[in-house]
Amino acid sequence: MECGIIGLQGVGKTTLFQALTAHAIPVQPGSMKPNMGMASIPDGRLDRIAEFIPTQKVIHANLQVVDIPGIPTGSGGSALGPILAHIRNVDALCQVVRCYDDPGLGPANPVGDIDAIESELLLSDLVVIESNLDKAERVARGGDPDAKHRADVLARCKALLDEGMPVRNGTWSGNDPVVLKTYGFMTAKPILYVANVGEDELDGSSESAKVVAGHAEEHGGQFVPLCARLESEVAELEEADRAEMLESMGLTEPALGAMARAANDLLGLSTFYTAGEKEIRAWAIPKGASAPEAAGAIHSDIERGFIRAECFHVDDLFELKTEKAIKEAGKLRSEGKQYAMQDGDVVNFLFNV
């Protein structure tokens, strides 16, 4: 699953992408092709597990991010086509909003920046509805229940968009999300608003950042403040230097940690762990995934030959300190194929192939 980073040109979008991917992906400024990479998800629980279970290495879960070309101010028309197509293909959105004054770009204008992007997405979704609603209503008049459902969902989407509200603000249940996904509505995608602030406003207390936070709350999105340029600089440092720089700023981790976890949540993912002498590793899976599906995240053979999952919760380890104590306390569970994985499970899969 992919999280697409969107925004106007010059807001720090690509700088954020470089920070997330630790500068591992070469980028071409001004390119109209998206940059794709993997971002490591900081996880305090994962690091703590290593305090109780000796291991050779610790491996974090990854999040796939896509740096989508910036939308030129005042563009529109055919120039937007390729950019909107990239946005339509990702599973969640991360909109970067400039919240600092820039000599070249002028004063921060979060309201204008957000509206510029949102207007394009709203209009694009309305075009999709206009080209599909009439047909769905005609077929629905013939009594087709699926067509009736599609027509109803499209009509409710149109009502929201006509009011300037994103599709995600609607009340959707049953098979509604399936219909929405069929049409690829961009305003239906979960969204994270990133306020790209100045170095002296890292807590998001500036008026511009507050505007972004308020918009996120009103439009069903999440909010994270960070300084993309600073995060990019931190990402280039060695681990020891990184820790020293963060400490000098009064931070325990880069702001990218909060952002990556928020994006992970947007995509509907949860985390389980495997732990042993060779490695301790975090795995991201869809929330509610079954034990065999989680096993498949490691290797298809483990899913195919799944017998059972022996697991305990990471909080049990933090409380009881050892796997032996967990077992003696009756906290070690044996789960079968119907078990829905819980966020924070530490698992050993038994399988036979």
Give pLDDT tens digits for 323-335.
Answer: 999 999 999 999 9
Mean pLDDT of the residues in the chain:
91
More confident residue, 139 or 248: 139
Q: Collapse the DSSP code of 23 into the 3-class scheme (helix H, G, I; strand E, B; otherwise coil) and give the result.
A: coil
Q: Collapse the DSSP code of 134 into the 3-class scheme (helix H, G, I; strand E, B; otherwise coil) and give the result.
A: helix
Task: Quote the CATH superfamily of domain 288-351.
Answer: Beta-grasp domain (3.10.20.30)
> Out of 3.30.470.30, 3.40.50.300, 3.30.565.10, 3.40.50.720, which CATH number does the structure's domain 2-265 have?
3.40.50.300
Residue 73: pLDDT band (50, 70, 90) is low
pLDDT in tens, 202-228: 888 899 999 999 999 988 889 999 999
Instruction: For the chain, give every domain's residue range.
Output: 2-265, 288-351
DSSP percent split of the chain into helix, strand, coil, nearest 5 = 45, 20, 35
Q: What is the pLDDT of residue 223?
A: 94
Q: What is the pLDDT of residue 342?
A: 97
Distance, CA of 163 to chain centre = 27
H or E element that contains 280 = strand 280-286
Residue pointed to by tokens 């937007």: 80
Residues 289, 141: Cα–Cα separation, whole Å: 38
Q: Collapse the DSSP code of 314 into the 3-class scheme (helix H, G, I; strand E, B; otherwise coil) and give the result.
A: helix
More confident residue, 157 or 72: 157
Q: What is the pLDDT of residue 255?
A: 81
This prediction has a pTM of: 0.88
Q: What is the pLDDT of residue 79?
A: 58
Residues 133, 120: Cα–Cα separation, whole Å: 20
Give the closest residue to 212 by CA, choosing from 70, 122, 111, 73.
111
The letter for the amino acid at 180 is L
Dmax over Cα atoms in the chain, in whole Å? 69
Q: What percent of the chain has pLDDT over 90?
A: 68
